[in-house]
Amino acid sequence: MRPGMSVKKAHEIEQLASLIGKLAQGAVEGTLGVNHVVDVGAGQGYLARSLASHPYSMQVLALDSDGHQTKGAERRNTKKGQKIREDEGGGGGVMHATVFVDSDTLPEVIDTWIPFQEGKSPVPVIITGLHACGSLTPAVIRAVISIIKTEGEKRGWYCKGLAIVGCCYNRATRKDGMCNC
């Protein structure tokens, strides 16, 4: 168990990372060759680090709307001299960004991470979130739908799958910012 994690959290991360690993490796019918994951609501980055580490060794974009959480996750990546970053080559890596995810910002930030390159095939991406609280889960679903609707746009990536564990729906808000409670 990693420092700062409860037994429950460690179990949830282990289970979701295993599922994403199986999806990515093709162990679940209809999925193949995915090495890039976007973790929405990444918080302290436990899931992102798990996916970037052995046995998964994936490239992970970890997004959270709270800059304090992002900084904490970045600090955890450098503890014990073990820096997990995408730009260091070999294995997996984690890139952190502070972003309020909605149907516009999610595609934009992934476009920055995996830019379109003429002549290169788009990269398959799995979008995940563990405890994608309140309006985050519907925002991700809306973003993916908007991406599908704009299929003709040139992108360096495409959404191969979603693995979202939502919660706190009582905190979800309507588009006009009012609470759904």
Domain locations along the chain: 33-171
Choose which CATH entry (3.40.50, 1.10.287, 3.40.1000, 1.10.760) describes domain 33-171: 3.40.50
Instruction: Indicate whether 173 pLDDT > 70.
Output: no
Residue 12's H or E segment, with its range, is helix 7-25
Pairwise CA distance, residues 24 & 36, whole Å = 9
User: With bands split at pLDDT 50, 70 and 90, how would you rate the model's confidence at 174?
Assistant: low
Instruction: Pick left, alpha or beta for residue 108 (phi over 0 → left; psi -120 to 50 → alpha; otherwise beta).
Output: alpha
pLDDT tens for each residue of 88-113: 444 688 899 998 988 889 999 999 99
pLDDT tens for each residue of 132-170: 777 788 888 888 898 887 776 789 999 988 888 877 655
Q: What is the pTM of this model?
A: 0.80
Joined together, the tokens standing for residue 177 give 């910012």
Residue 131's H or E segment, with its range, is strand 123-133
Instruction: Indicate whether 130 pLDDT > 60.
Output: yes
